Amino acid sequence: MKAKKTLKSARKVTLKHGPKQEKEKSAGAKIRTREKTPETRVAQNAKEGATNGYTAKDIYVLEGLEPVRKRPGMYIGSTGPSGLHHLIWEVVDNSIDEAMAGFATNIEVKLLRGGIVSVEDNGRGIPVDIHKQTKRSALETVMTTLHAGGKFGGESYKVSGGLHGVGVSVVNALSEWMQAEVCRDGGLYMQEYKRGRATAKVKKVGQCDRGGTKISFTPDKEVFATTEFDIKTILDHFREQAYLSKGLQIVLLDERGEVPMYYAYRFDGGLQSFVEYLNHDGSEVVHDNTFYVHKEHEEIDVETALNYNEGTETVELSFANNINTTDGGMHLTGFRSALTRTVNDYAKINNLFRKGDEALSGEDVREGLTAIVSVKLREPQFEGQTKARLGTPEARSAVEIVVGDGLRDFMETHPGDARAIVERSLLSARARVAAKAAKDTVLRKGALSGLTLPGKLADCQSGTKPEDAELFIVEGNSAGGSAKQARDRRNQAILPLRGKVLNAEKARIDKILANKEIVSLVVALGTAIADDFDLNKLRYHKIVIMTDADIDGAHIRTLLLTLFFRYFPKVIEGGYLYIALPPLYQITKGKEAHYAYNDAERDKILKSMKTQGTPNIQRYKGLGEMDAEQLWETTLDPAKRTMQQVTIDDAKEADRVFDILMGEDVVPRKRFIQVHAASVKNLDV
């Protein structure tokens, strides 16, 4: 979750990972069916003449290219930062497809000055012979024709990600300049393009003793709102792709600054390494060996890894042909079914259920779980244009069989790990039953049902539409009093909270409902909570957290953000949550008055005051120090106030950071503080 300038995603020191730097688990924790290294496989394919099977006849043309520049959002999602980075993903996806086909082991990406990006692989190289249908080089056909590529038929690619041949031509159409260099059949071939059109024919420019493709391009400033690439966004994506492509090395060289920065990812442990990475800052794991299985079932390649930790959150990532299926799909359904059935069967066979225990539900066996499911298959059926959900029915049965068989074998050969998994799930089940009973008791006592609005709430006028109504959550009665006097009663409501609210990261729903301050907030919102939550009943479409500009205010703001992130995420996703930015200083000289929101603004204002006399500087330690007029004109007046909208740009990263900063485990929090101590600003001690 990112509250613009308020909550910042954690930035890590990126390390180069190599095959010698990665610790492997015991062989018993892995179930492998493929032992060939990528280098061995590539050498064997080359020896058998596999390259000869990928020629111009394998390129299939469906339609032209012109619509891309007219409606770029249809092809890359947006012309903002996400669409800009999508250009890199599309080119890299083609190289990853070469790796999945067994013909590439290395991808090198460079960010050069002048906005140039280059992506180079050591695959087969795009064919350059004449295409029978277009009468042009296959390279030019691929680069300048929409829906032209080797992934619509034939045997050149058994599985592929990206946009299935759309990618590189779309990137070409949205680049002001592009150059393709191909090493193939002993020759080096080159062609240049301008906004999707070739500027000359493909020509041989030299000799080459290897295979591969290098694509260089400059995003078109006429299309994109910004052409500045974000290094963290790129590294996060490349790390994920390297985990999903076991043995593939992805290198990034950033030459935009004075000192070039080099990054490299290679993970021979695949998804097993991925799971361990996801847990390295989180709660302590509850079993020693990470479960891992990699097997093919009826031409569907299934790879899965999982382990359990002591936290209460569930992390499930699913991929189809290296595409992140954020909404899950058939493969994730098959995984969940196999997991629930296998854990229940093991517990029953080994008499681990107590008298009165119910069978474990899917919710029970997934609490504290970190799992990744990846499938690779021909012609995947995605639901929706964004490919967020896999709809291929065969993927469900393949994953269910592979994971079921593999997990059963793992639990039988690792009884200590198996018992830890079952006991972790049983603990979750018993806690769920106890929490439900406590919640029902609290609700019967009227924590929410039938309650009128809290007396401390100064509501806006009756009849105000939710889309016009604003709720300010204020720290303490003093600030609440000023805010009540300063507000516009027609559409602004004030809810003062006393003290620091309960830490929602450490509390279950029954504890949440027993907290008077949180209950007051829930009743004021009108949405109810947990299973009863209904966003349509939200009484205010602008909910503003307004706390003091000191360390206590920051803590209260963080606690409230944690509460909303854990129990009201749809309020954030709907764009209804904001953070008020009251000024830190009032600077006056005679009748002249200015407000400064940080030290830099204060210094700028002081420098601009050229009249005689010494300005008076008032540092606001709390909202209660402002009178009603000052609070209105700085923080409440829609015409003058400054607010930050809270958004969830990366829910998984936000979830991980909240676990670290607000969870029970002290060690990860201490490590996080040590890593980021040097970047702290405005420390209030």
The domain that contains 408 carries what CATH number?
3.30.230.10
C-alpha to C-alpha distance for 674 and 685, rounded to whole angstroms:
17
For residue 84, is pLDDT > 60? Answer: yes
Pairing of strands 30-31, 60-61: unpaired
User: Do 382 and 484 belong together in one domain?
Assistant: no
Rounded-to-integer distance, Cα 346 and Cα 518, Å: 41
Two structure tokens written together for 544: 């503003």
pLDDT average, residue stretch 543-568: 85
Q: Are strands 300-308 and 291-297 parallel, antiparallel or unpaired?
A: antiparallel
Any residues with CB less than 8 A from the CB of 607 and at least 6 apart, and which? Answer: none
Range with top average pLDDT, 200-209, 375-384, 559-568, 599-608: 200-209
Q: Is the dihedral of CA 150, 154, 156, 159 positive or negative?
A: positive
Mean pLDDT computed over 31-42? 54
Which among 138, 204, 205 has a CA at the least distance from the CA of 168? 138
3 state SS of 601: helix
Tokens of 388: 């967020």
- Close Cβ partners of 107 (under 8 Å, ≥ 6 residues apart): 92, 95, 96, 99, 119, 120, 121, 248, 249, 250, 251
Which two three-digit tokens encode residue 655? 């979830």
**Looking at the structure, do residues 435 and 491 belong to the same domain, yes or no?**
no
Within-domain flag for 312: yes
Average pLDDT in the 171-176 region? Answer: 95
Q: Label residue 685 by pLDDT band (50, 70, 90).
A: very low
pLDDT higher than threshold 70 for residue 591: yes
pLDDT reported for residue 476: 75
Euclidean distance between the first and the last CA atom of the chain, given in angstroms as a whole number = 26
Number of domains the chain is built from: 4
pLDDT confidence of residue 16:
35
> Alpha-carbon distance 137 to 39, whole Å?
30
- 29 has a pLDDT exceeding 70: no
Mean pLDDT, rounded, for 73-80 = 86
Mean pLDDT of 655-678: 58
Judged by average pLDDT, the poorest of 172-176, 328-332, 474-478, 535-539 is 474-478
pLDDT digits 0-9 by tens, 432-490: 887 777 666 655 554 555 556 777 899 998 888 999 999 999 987 777 888 999 999 99
The set of residues, in sequence order, having a beta carbon less than 8 Å from that of 667 and lying 6+ positions away, is none
- Tokens encoding 398: 């393949």
Q: Is residue 109 part of a domain?
A: yes
Q: What is the pLDDT of residues 271-300, one digit of tens each?
A: 999 999 888 755 688 999 999 999 999 999
Residue 314 has pLDDT above 70, yes or no: yes
pLDDT given for residue 351 in this prediction: 94
Tokens representing residue 659 in the block? 């676990």
Decide if pLDDT at 398 tops 80. yes
Q: Which residue has the tokens 């702290």?
A: 680
Range of the domain at 132: 42-229
Q: Which residue has the higher pLDDT, 556 or 193?
A: 193
State the SS3 of 95-130. HHHHHHCCCCCEEEEEECCCCCEEEEECCCCCCCCE
With CA atoms as reference, report the closest residue to 561 among 513, 484, 500: 500
Residue 15 domain-assigned?
Answer: no
Element (H, E) at 600: helix 599-608
* For residue 252, pLDDT beyond 60: yes
Residue 90 located in a structural domain = yes
Residue 517 and residue 494 share a domain: yes
Question: DSSP per residue over 47-75, as a string?
Answer: HTTGGGG-SGGG-EE---STHHHH-THHH
Whether residue 643 lies inside any domain: the answer is yes
Using a 10 angstrom Cβ sphere, with 0-12 exposed, 13-18 middle and 19 or more buried, the burial of residue 329 is buried
Query: Please, which pLDDT band fits residue 148 given cuts at 50, 70 and 90?
Result: low
Mean pLDDT, the chain, whole residue set:
83
Please report the pLDDT score of residue 34 as a whole number. Answer: 44
| pLDDT tens-digit map of 348-366 | 999 999 988 889 999 999 9
Higher pLDDT, 108 or 74: 108
Please tell me whether residues 140 and 70 are part of one structural domain: yes
pTM over 0.75: no
Q: Which of 172-181, 378-387, 440-449, 572-581 has the lowest mean pLDDT?
A: 440-449
3-state secondary structure of 41: helix
619, 634, 667 - which closes a domain: 619
- Segment among 316-325, 494-503, 563-572, 669-678 with least mean pLDDT: 669-678
Quick one: 411 and 490 in the same domain?
Answer: no
At position 24, the amino acid (one-letter code) is: E
Q: What local confidence, expressed as pLDDT, does residue 27 receive? A: 36
Question: Mean pLDDT throughout 131-160?
Answer: 74
How high is the pLDDT of residue 122? 96
Task: Determine, yes or no, domain membership for 572.
Answer: yes
pLDDT of residue 218: 98
Q: What is the CATH number of the domain that holds 481?
A: 3.40.50.670
Please indicate, yes or no, whether residues 422 and 517 belong to a single structural domain of this protein: no
In this structure, the answer to whether residues 474 and 562 fall within a common structural domain is yes
Determine which of 14-18, 40-44, 229-233, 520-524 has the lowest per-residue pLDDT on average.
14-18
- CB neighbour list of residue 476: distance below 8 Å, 6 or more residues apart: 496, 497, 498, 622, 624
Say if residue 531's pLDDT is above 90: no
Examine residue 480 and state whether it is found in any structural domain, yes or no: yes
Active site residues: 475, 548, 550, 552
Position 412: which residue type? E
Instruction: Flag whether pLDDT at 265 surpasses 90.
Output: yes
Residues 430 and 557 in one domain: no
Whether the CB-CB separation of 241 and 321 falls below 8 Å is answered with no
Whether residue 351 is found in the same domain as residue 379: yes
Q: Are residues 571 and 595 in the same domain?
A: no
pLDDT score, position 421: 97
* Closest C-alpha among 238, 302, 245 to residue 270: 245
User: Is residue 191 in a domain?
Assistant: yes
Structure confidence at residue 33 (pLDDT): 40
Span 413-427, average pLDDT: 96
List the single range of 5-14, 407-416, 501-510, 658-667 with lowest mean pLDDT.
5-14
Q: What percent of the chain has pLDDT over 70?
A: 79
Q: How confident is the model at residue 670 (pLDDT cuts 50, 70, 90)?
A: low
Do residue 592 and residue 505 come from a single domain? no
For 293, phi then psi, to 5°, come to -140, 140
Q: What DSSP letter does each residue of 334-351 carry, written as one string?
A: HHHHHHHHHHHHHHHHTT
Greater confidence (566 vs 88) lies with 88
Output the pLDDT for position 434.
Answer: 78
Is 192 found in the same domain as 145? yes
- The more confident residue out of 391 and 449 is 391
Is pLDDT above 80 for 98? yes
